């Protein structure tokens, strides 16, 4: 049975989209995770893509071999230099549904009244999407028949095929990886930090992500007068300590026994312009007196310089 004409689903959908904008639906999601927070501005301005069979990430993988010294009339090498290639990442899609029953619509005539019923569900949808993003960030993208985001488990690794490039044959595409096999020490952290920054250009990790237990273990290693915080991350709501300037942050979804050393400059959260948390129109099933809408996102997490990030695994702090 069709709903009464007073229930203007187009107006309701428009009101929901306005609520999402006014209440920072998207910003709240990307400010929920330290890595997303750091790459947010870069991705929101440079990570919007309008289409394509796959997400293509250009890569500079080698030096120009023609550089060198010369004297007088020496011949100069003009050989073409093969220095660029590209990684390809599949589009990944996320959704969350929000529904309202016909009875609820009858009890709350008018789009504004109906929105008040939906508001709690929209807030829950936002929290649910945050939880889904955070969980998938640490995984390898093979979950749900390889429909999940390609997360850190594959992006920051010394093996496997990432972005269509095999690390077995292309070792320059590997990240630093060390099996700690014991309690965290500052010596372990120092070696990993330096290994990530020593390759040209000399750029250090700017965020270290780990579990609560490992974070507390790191805090125990610090002398009281050296327990500094990164003020920017603290003001954004991320409890953190510092290691050589990089905030050390714990995340409840972080991989157990692992500490990630990441350079956010080389990560991009690519988002499709047509699926940037778009709210669909309200839809009514043919066998149910209710209406539902979905909030949709499409994109993937990409990386352009794997050797600038790394991970310590097998840390036994508990």
Instruction: Give how far Cα 188 sits from Cα of 152, 185, 223, 259, Å.
Output: 20, 5, 17, 10
Is 78 part of any domain? no
Is 180 part of any domain? yes
Instruction: For residue 144, give both structure tokens.
Output: 């749900």
Is 77 part of any domain? no
Is 116 part of any domain? yes
Give the separation between CA 248 and CA 300, rounded to whole angstroms.
Answer: 24
Is 16 part of any domain? yes
- By the 10 Å C-beta count (0-12 exposed, 13-18 middle, 19+ buried), 138 is classed as buried
Is 240 part of any domain? yes
138-192 confidence digits (pLDDT tens) = 999 999 999 999 999 999 999 999 999 999 999 999 999 999 989 999 999 999 9
Q: In percent, how much of the chain has pLDDT > 70?
A: 89
| Mean pLDDT for the stretch of residues 255-266 | 95
Report the Cα 207 to chain-centroid distance in Å.
13
Banded model confidence at residue 227, pLDDT cuts 50, 70, 90:
low
- How many domains does the chain contain in total? 1
Is 123 part of any domain? yes
Q: What is the CATH number of the domain that holds 111?
A: 3.90.1690
pLDDT: is 77 or 24 the higher one?
A: 24
126-139 confidence digits (pLDDT tens) = 999 989 999 999 99
Instruction: For residue 45, give both structure tokens.
Output: 């301005």
pTM, full prediction: 0.85
Domain span including residue 311: 9-49+85-315
Whole-number pLDDT of residue 113: 81
Is 71 part of any domain? no
51-110 confidence digits (pLDDT tens) = 788 899 888 665 667 777 788 887 887 776 665 578 999 999 999 999 888 898 888 877
């Amino acid at each position: 049975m069709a709903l009464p004409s007073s229930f203007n689903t187009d107006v309701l959908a428009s009101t929901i989209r306005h609520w999402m904008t006014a209440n920072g639906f998207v910003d709240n999601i990307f400010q929920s995770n330290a890595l997303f927070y750091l790459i947010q501005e870069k991705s929101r301005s440079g990570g919007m893509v309008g289409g394509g069979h796959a997400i293509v990430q250009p890569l500079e993988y080698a030096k120009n071999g023609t550089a060198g010294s010369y004297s007088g009339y020496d011949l100069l090498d003009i050989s073409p230099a093969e220095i660029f290639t590209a990684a390809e990442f599949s589009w990944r899609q996320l959704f969350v549904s929000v529904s309202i029953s016909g009875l609820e619509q009858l009890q709350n005539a008018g789009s504004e009244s109906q929105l008040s019923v939906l508001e709690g569900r929209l807030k829950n949808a936002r929290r649910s999407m945050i939880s889904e993003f955070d969980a998938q960030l640490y995984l390898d993208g093979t979950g749900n028949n390889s429909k999940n985001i390609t997360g850190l488990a594959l992006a920051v690794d010394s093996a496997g095929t990432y972005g269509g490039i095999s690390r077995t044959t292309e070792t320059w595409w590997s990240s630093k990886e060390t099996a700690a096999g014991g309690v965290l020490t500052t010596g372990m952290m120092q070696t990993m930090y330096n290994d990530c920054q020593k390759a040209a250009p000399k750029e250090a990790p700017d965020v270290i992500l780990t579990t609560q237990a490992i974070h507390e273990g790191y805090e125990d290693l610090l002398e009281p007068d050296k327990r500094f915080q990164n003020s920017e991350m603290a003001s954004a709501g991320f409890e953190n300590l510092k290691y050589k300037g990089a905030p050390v942050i714990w995340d409840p979804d972080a991989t157990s026994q692992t500490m990630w050393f990441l350079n956010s400059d080389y990560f991009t959260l690519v988002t499709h312009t047509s699926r940037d948390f778009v709210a669909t129109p309200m839809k009514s099933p043919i066998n149910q007196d209710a209406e539902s809408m979905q909030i949709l996102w499409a994109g993937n997490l990409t990386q352009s310089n794997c050797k600038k990030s790394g991970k310590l695994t097998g840390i036994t702090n508990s």
